[in-house]
């Protein structure tokens, strides 16, 4: 069984990745501190954050992994473009972005963590540009939800996400997707038409580890 080293910003993501990738042996590395410092400490330079991510990936690479999976958009955004690895690096948002770029009609992307919106939308715009496609996407933030995750109140978090997704589907005749793994379970219970990052991920990981 191929070994995937996964880097998360929050331990709750482990459940979703294990569920999506039963065909791989996943090793999990969790570092919430970096994202917290980047978003709260203006004196912490982007170069220092990038160096921290690069050091973490090098450590993961040395753990006999066949591939690395980054599940946090902020980590992906901090990764230096010049960074090279001896093993494939899978960025969770890229197969998700590819799915979004296949849709011509207006879309809503729902977030619970406001700190990930800017980085995700910037990467999505860049991805669409290089794919030479035009997309009509508007981000929506569920206010007050992410604090529930950080305090471990996952049941209330799920209820809040489900309620907002129900309302968005009812009020808007458009495609809806969720940008974060913590929202996947709620999205699946609301509608199988909601796009999630996990839907295209398994196929991408399969293709990557077969090639490696």
pLDDT digits over 6-33, tens only?
Answer: 999 888 889 999 999 999 999 999 987 7
Residues 67 and 106 in one domain: no
Given this model, what pLDDT does residue 44 score? Answer: 65
Phi-psi region of 132 (alpha: psi -120 to 50; beta: other; left: phi over 0): left
49-89 pLDDT, tens digit each: 778 888 888 888 888 899 999 998 778 888 877 788 889 99
Residue 140 has pLDDT above 90, yes or no: yes
Instruction: State whether 3 and 62 are in the same domain.
Output: yes
CB atoms within 10 A of CB 167: 10
Examine the domain organization and report whether 144 and 76 are in the same domain: no
Q: Are residues 85 and 124 in the same domain?
A: no
CA atoms of 157 and 187, how far apart (whole Å) = 12
Task: Give the integer Cα–Cα distance in Å for 47 and 35.
Answer: 14
Beta strands in the chain (DSSP E): 3-8, 25-30, 67-70, 89-91, 107-111, 137-141, 175-178
Lowest mean pLDDT among 43-52, 112-121, 124-133: 43-52
Residues 192 and 96 in one domain: yes
Identify whether residues 99 and 190 lie together within a single domain: yes
DSSP 3-state of 177: strand
Read off the pLDDT band of 42 (50, 70, 90).
low
Tens digit of pLDDT for each residue in 167-211? Answer: 999 998 899 999 998 899 999 999 999 999 998 999 999 988 877
Same-domain check for residues 125 and 150: yes
Q: Are residues 80 and 16 in the same domain?
A: yes
User: Which residue range is the domain that position 163 belongs to?
Assistant: 92-196
Residues 110 and 84 occupy one common structural domain: no
Q: How many CA atoms lie within 13 A of 61 on its CB side?
A: 14
Model pTM score: 0.84
Quick one: 43 and 121 in the same domain?
no
CB atoms within 10 A of CB 63: 11
**Band of the pLDDT at 126, cuts 50, 70, 90?**
very high
Give the count of domains, the chain. Answer: 2
Helix (H) or strand (E) holding 16: helix 13-20
Q: Is the CB of residue 60 less than 8 Å from the CB of residue 87? A: no
For range 101-128, the mean pLDDT: 92
Output the pLDDT for position 212: 63
Largest pairwise CA distance in the chain: 49
CATH of the domain at 10: 3.40.50.1860
Which stretches of the chain are DSSP H helices?
Answer: 13-20, 32-40, 46-61, 73-78, 93-101, 117-130, 146-150, 154-171, 184-190, 198-211
Q: Is the domain of 55 the same as that of 17?
A: yes
The answer to whether residues 107 and 155 belong to one domain is yes
């Amino acid at each position: 069984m191929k070994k995937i080293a996964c880097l998360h910003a929050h331990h709750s993501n482990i459940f979703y990745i294990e569920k999506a990738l039963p065909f791989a042996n996943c090793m999990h590395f969790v570092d919430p501190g970096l994202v917290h410092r980047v978003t709260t400490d203006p004196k912490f330079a982007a170069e220092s954050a990038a160096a921290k991510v690069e050091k973490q990936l090098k450590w993961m690479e040395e753990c006999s992994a066949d591939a690395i999976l980054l599940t946090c958009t902020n980590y992906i955004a901090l990764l230096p473009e010049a960074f090279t690895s001896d093993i494939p690096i899978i960025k969770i948002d890229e197969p998700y972005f590819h799915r979004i770029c296949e849709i011509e009609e207006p879309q809503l992307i729902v977030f619970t963590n406001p700190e990930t919106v800017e980085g995700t939308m910037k990467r999505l715009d860049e991805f669409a540009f290089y794919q030479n496609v035009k997309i009509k996407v508007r981000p929506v933030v569920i206010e007050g939800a992410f604090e529930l995750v950080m305090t471990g109140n996952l049941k209330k978090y799920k209820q809040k996400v489900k309620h907002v997704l129900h309302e968005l589907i009812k009020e808007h005749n458009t495609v809806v997707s969720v940008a974060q793994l913590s929202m996947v379970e709620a999205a699946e219970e609301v509608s199988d038409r909601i796009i999630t990052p996990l839907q295209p991920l398994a196929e991408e990981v399969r293709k990557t580890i077969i090639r490696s």
